[in-house]
Chains A and B, each alone.
Chain A
């Protein structure tokens, strides 16, 4: 009981509800309880309709034990005032639980172990898998040897037209992790180191084949499964996400195929820190592939030396920092910050960065035609 309501408060409420003066309300409340008390003492029984019954009950004498000393003591007969709420009052008080009703228990029913909520993970997993191939990278970085990491940042600003080798080492890790979510995490540690150094200089599919051959027999199924998942995801990538790349495609003369491979190097360095920052691992990996290929060739090299994140409002706790305005977008009918984020970063959750960058007070209500600045994002240094 944290709060206590006293008689005057009750009288005020009554005055409001019944439309009488506070003074008369208070005198009524006082009279109400005084009458109950008087008649309770004289009649030992007062019943008020829809309120309850007050009774004076005589409790017989009984023996008890003094807890402190263990002595037997006699409790003498005394009167007790009891109250039972009735009708309206009882129902109103119990209103929060009113929807419950008695349940018949069948023979042999064991008593209710709390039903365990199904864990959200299984439901989410398929989603994330279809979303982006790269996502699967996220568990992997932990196992991955460091050396492979370092070269990537350097490769990042390079023009998009890159020989296969650049895409190569990255492709390999992508394949393994796909298998992992489906199976135990243990495999990845053994697999990752063995594959990353692999210097195969061919496009993705050949490498995978090589892996098959090298993998021990007990991994055969795992790799197979991973391959299927990868294929599915690549397919969905083309079907569902390719159109997002289109607007940016004009700048780079690359065929689409190279582009798909390209994002992967970009993802790697970024995905690694992500695994460490607990912040929404699912969300982060997704955005990279779409964002990077578009910007990297054009803007990154030029901007890198000049940017100063301190000039812009940052999203606290975000894995990225805002380093500039990529473009200004006029909000059209049917567009939301989430669709914008999805379009520019490949992930609706990135809308937070847009909100921060534009200093939008209420992201739920934005005027049509509002100019929305799309922030340029950069992975935060560790």
Chain B
């Protein structure tokens, strides 16, 4: 399911326009992004946890050119499905 279909499903369910749904999704993304950090996780019951993991810097090699790069450390948003969702996915 792509973004368009997702927005369509969401808007019909909530009786709002596609545009409004899109705006709300964007705002929600913003909220989620600003509220999670290394100490804070967002947990949605029955769905899963969003938490930030720090990836340390590392050396990567371009396999074709054999050139080495130092990849900087970064913060990555991780999703951990709740046991409920896991079970359903089976």
B57: A residues at CB distance < 8 A: 100
- B90–A51 touching, CB < 8 Å: no
CB-CB contacts of B5-41 with A at 8 A, as 1s and 0s? 1100110011000000001111111111111100111
A205 to B78, CA, bound (A): 74
A1 to B78, CA, bound (A): 13
A102: B residues at CB distance < 8 A: 60, 69-72
Q: Does A150 contact B (CB under 8 A)?
A: no
B3: A residues at CB distance < 8 A: 47-49
A1-55 residues with Cβ-Cβ distance < 8 A to B are 1-7, 9-10, 13-14, 17-18, 20, 27-29, 31-37, 39-41, 43, 45-52, 54
Q: Does A278 contact B (CB under 8 A)?
A: no
Given contacts A28-B28, A45-B1, A89-B29, contact A1 B40 (CB under 8 A): yes
**Complex partner residue of B2 from A33, A40, A47, CB under 8 angstroms:** A47
A108 to B72, CA, bound (A): 19
A112: B residues at CB distance < 8 A: 70
Total inter-chain residue pairs, C-beta < 8 Å: 174
B45: A residues at CB distance < 8 A: 6-7
Whole-angstrom distance between the Cβ of B58 and the nearest chain A Cβ: 10
- B36–A85 touching, CB < 8 Å: no
A225 to B76, CA, bound (A): 58
A7: B residues at CB distance < 8 A: 43-45
A352 to B31, CA, bound (A): 45
- A31–B13 touching, CB < 8 Å: yes
Whole-angstrom distance between the Cβ of B82 and the nearest chain A Cβ: 9
B88: A residues at CB distance < 8 A: 37, 41
- A81–B67 touching, CB < 8 Å: no
- B72–A48 touching, CB < 8 Å: no
- A85–B9 touching, CB < 8 Å: no
- A88–B89 touching, CB < 8 Å: no
Given contacts A83-B79, A92-B33, A97-B73, contact A5 B41 (CB under 8 A): yes
Residue of A nearest to B16 (CB): A28
- B33–A18 touching, CB < 8 Å: no
A46-100 residues with Cβ-Cβ distance < 8 A to B are 46-52, 54, 56, 78-83, 85, 88-90, 92-97, 100
Count contacts on B: residues with CB < 8 A to the other chain: 57
Whole-angstrom distance between the Cβ of B15 and the nearest chain A Cβ: 10
- B25–A9 touching, CB < 8 Å: no
Given contacts A13-B35, A97-B72, contact A79 B40 (CB under 8 A): no
- A41–B89 touching, CB < 8 Å: yes
A118 to B39, CA, bound (A): 32
- B51–A5 touching, CB < 8 Å: no
- A28–B33 touching, CB < 8 Å: no
Residue of A nearest to B48 (CB): A81
Q: Does A105 contact B (CB under 8 A)?
A: yes
Residue of A nearest to B28 (CB): A14
Residue of A nearest to B87 (CB): A79
- A79–B89 touching, CB < 8 Å: yes
A119: B residues at CB distance < 8 A: none
- A32–B28 touching, CB < 8 Å: yes
A94 to B78, CA, bound (A): 12
Q: Does A333 contact B (CB under 8 A)?
A: no
- B10–A32 touching, CB < 8 Å: yes
A29 to B71, CA, bound (A): 35
16 extra interface residue pairs, beta carbon distance < 8 Å, beyond A17-B31, A103-B70? A2-B40, A5-B35, A7-B43, A10-B28, A14-B28, A35-B9, A36-B6, A48-B25, A50-B29, A80-B89, A81-B79, A83-B48, A89-B33, A89-B77, A103-B69, A104-B67
* B interface residue numbers (CB < 8 A to A): 1-3, 5-6, 9-10, 13-14, 23-36, 39-48, 51-52, 57, 59-60, 67-79, 81, 85-86, 88-90
- List 9 A-B pairs, Cβ < 8 Å: A40-B89, A52-B77, A78-B90, A85-B77, A89-B33, A93-B76, A100-B74, A101-B72, A103-B72
